[in-house]
Amino acid sequence: MKDEHLHYISERSPHLKRLVMPAWNRITKFGICQAIQRWEELESLTMPTIGHPPYIMEEIARSCKNFAELKVMGSFDDLFASAIATHLPKLKVLSLRCSKVTMSALLWLLDNMANLEVLNISHCLLFEIVANGRRQVIHELDDQTLQKASRLREFHHCQSRSCLACQRMMADEGIMRWYRYEDWFWRRDEVSSLDLQDYGKLFDAECEALTAVE
């Protein structure tokens, strides 16, 4: 999808409330901001990691007064956490499912997002930078972090070596190669309001079987 396609869609769907775009590598900063300006009723967004997240958070804050849910697929660092806390302090639901997340970013959210009610870090590759700039993977949350998260209405987390999704995250070194896995895999979420299930699928299982390449 390119800018012109997004422009076409945004012009014809001004009352859009939910947008799921797990990839927008061919859409420019101008293109996505222009679309968001038209979607004043937008409440929920699923988006990929971007290099400079503040601009998109700022545009959402300016244009979408009822925005409440965000799902990020990719990497989530201190800059991303700071951008959300600064521009979307009233955000209620955040899912980072199957993302690479720094512990400092997670703690930033827990310390600064007073209105956050639901947080999903299931199957994330959590890490912190230790001596000599080495990256250390966190396999279990400490008591202090769990205590901070206890105020949330829902806190989903899973960093288990026996979990298939967590195993895939480790194998992919924190950047999930979604194309390697089942079509349904990226659509799932432990947060019910963000779980796509089969919503929006163009083909059912029978059609996919008929068109599959051997």
Instruction: List the domain boundaries for the chain.
Output: 3-181
Domain range 3-181, CATH class: alpha beta
User: Using DSSP, how many helices (H) and how many strands (E) does the chain show?
Assistant: 8, 10
Q: What is the pLDDT of residue 199?
A: 62
Q: What is the pLDDT of residue 22?
A: 82
Q: What is the pLDDT of residue 63?
A: 97
Phi, psi (5° rounding) for residue 140? -150, 130
Question: For the sheet containing 75-76, what is the strand order?
Answer: 75-76, 100-102, 125-129, 135-138
- Positive or negative CA dihedral for 34, 59, 105, 191? negative
Q: What CA–CA distance (Å, rounded) separates 63 from 72?
A: 19
Q: What is the pLDDT of residue 205?
A: 52
Q: What CA–CA distance (Å, rounded) separates 12 from 51?
A: 29
Q: What CA–CA distance (Å, rounded) separates 13 from 16?
A: 6
pLDDT in tens, the chain (214 residues): 899 999 999 999 999 999 999 888 889 999 999 999 999 999 999 998 888 899 999 999 999 999 999 999 999 999 999 999 999 999 999 999 999 999 999 999 999 999 999 999 999 999 998 878 788 999 899 999 999 999 999 999 998 888 999 999 999 988 899 889 988 899 999 999 999 987 655 444 554 454 344 4
pTM of the predicted structure, to 2 decimals: 0.90
Q: What is the pLDDT of residue 201?
A: 54
Q: What CA–CA distance (Å, rounded) separates 86 from 78?
A: 12
Q: What is the pLDDT of residue 213?
A: 41
